[in-house]
Amino acid sequence: GSDSFDIPYDRQGLADYLEVERSAMSAEIGKLRKDGIIECTRSHFRLSYEYDSRDAMVTPRKGGHLEGHVGYSGPGSTVETYTVGLSGSYYYNSFWDSIFSVNFGLETVDTVSGGDDVPIFERCYLGGPANLRGFRYRDVGMIDEALAGDETMGGNSSAFVQFEVTLPVIESVRFAMFVDAGFVHKDSFDFQPSEWAADYGIGLRINLPMGPLAVDYAIPFKSENCADDDGQFQFYVDYKY
């Protein structure tokens, strides 16, 4: 026998089959996919343009980086979607070899038809070392306890900004202080910061023979649309791609 089968339903029919509300479909499908009960297919194409004037990939002291991208999950995907995003950074070297930097990113996703929900695995999330360091990975997003318990459901739009200054301790170690802020919203192309999350923290930037390492500890001071607001340690490789 076969271990796969087809369910010939439209979205409302599938909601009825799973005995959930249509608005809860994405969360329910996400749970089934996480448990390995169903598979969701994604065929994704991404086109980007990048400008980079930084003076180094490890510990840049001046210059900036800007990247814009568009993406399309086309035929063969569970739901056809498109994404639009912009990200960038800028570095400035000042007194005592201090380095001031700002890093930002924004992204939005929507379905091609405009009528279906964006699958939960294609939505925007924040949290983790790449954006909001005071929160766990993908822990900032829309919360609906009735549908997903204490897990975030993501959103169709997100934006964040990081401000950081580092100071030399010894030749291969720098001390960092930073503030991060951002938000995730339910609707596509919604970049009004009505509900947002933010954190502040300190860390070390260590240049090791095998590569640059960053160690941070950050504490949230604004925690809307997030699953957890405890302080977080973050460990990550610190190449400035």
pLDDT tens-digit readout, 133-155:
999 888 888 776 555 456 678 89
Look at 31-35, 119-123, 137-141, 169-173 and tell me which has the smallest mean pLDDT. Answer: 31-35
Say yes or no to pLDDT of 197 above 80. Answer: yes
Mean pLDDT of 62-66: 96
Mean pLDDT of 9-35: 61
Q: Give me 97's structure tokens.
A: 């070899």
- Look at residue 80 in the predicted model and tell me its pLDDT: 84
Say yes or no to pLDDT of 23 above 60. Answer: no
- Look at residue 24 in the predicted model and tell me its pLDDT: 59
Say yes or no to pLDDT of 184 above 80. Answer: yes
Mean pLDDT of 199-228: 90
* pLDDT 10s digits, 72-117: 887 766 678 899 999 999 999 999 999 999 999 999 999 888 766 8
- Look at residue 22 in the predicted model and tell me its pLDDT: 52
Mean pLDDT of 192-196: 85
pTM of the model: 0.79
